[in-house]
Amino acid sequence: MIRNARPTDQAYIASTWTRSVCSMNKVPGKTSLRFGHGHAQQRHMGSQLWERVSKEVDAVLDRPDSRSLVLCKAHDHDIICAWIVFAEGWGAPLVHYAYTRKDDRGNGHSAELLHRIGVGRSTAVVCTSIGPSSESMRSRYPASTYLPLAEFLKPPG
């Protein structure tokens, strides 16, 4: 079942989005930025990255044009399997991020959420984040383009 995200869903969306983006960034010569593991420099760099990404995610979620949809288990509407954060009013669909829980991947949940906001294979769509979902989306949706989230968040002027 797809529903609008509730205010109580925002913490889960923010933390999974931030964790997903941070997991894509590697420190040269290290394994990953899994926090609390490895060398102090790695933890420090991971902490800085987490803080920067977390601030960007919060800035997006606090915007008046941001919307979130969640796909829940049919038997329990509080169990989120997947979610999408997007912006309304930009002419073309603007997707900030889509996420599916590891155990629920491969079931078409992201495609279902994208379809719900009007994105099809030939739809022009703008993606603002880097990470597993944006790379996958841009490869599957040839009319998609990338606008860095930091640019999107810059004040006009």
Q: What is the pLDDT of residue 16?
A: 94
- Altogether, the residues listed in the chain come to a count of 157
- Tell me how far apart the alpha carbons of residues 69 and 9 are, in angstroms, rounded to a whole number: 10
pTM exceeding the 0.85 threshold for the entire prediction: no
Q: What is the pLDDT of residue 29?
A: 38
Q: What is the pLDDT of residue 26?
A: 55
Q: What is the pLDDT of residue 129?
A: 81
| 10-residue stretch averages of pLDDT, the chain, 157 residues long | 96 93 61 46 65 93 96 92 92 90 92 93 86 71 87 86
Residue 13 token pair: 């969306």
User: Which domains does the chain show, CATH number per domain?
Assistant: 1-157 (3.40.630)
State phi, psi for 111 to the nearest 5 degrees: -60, -40
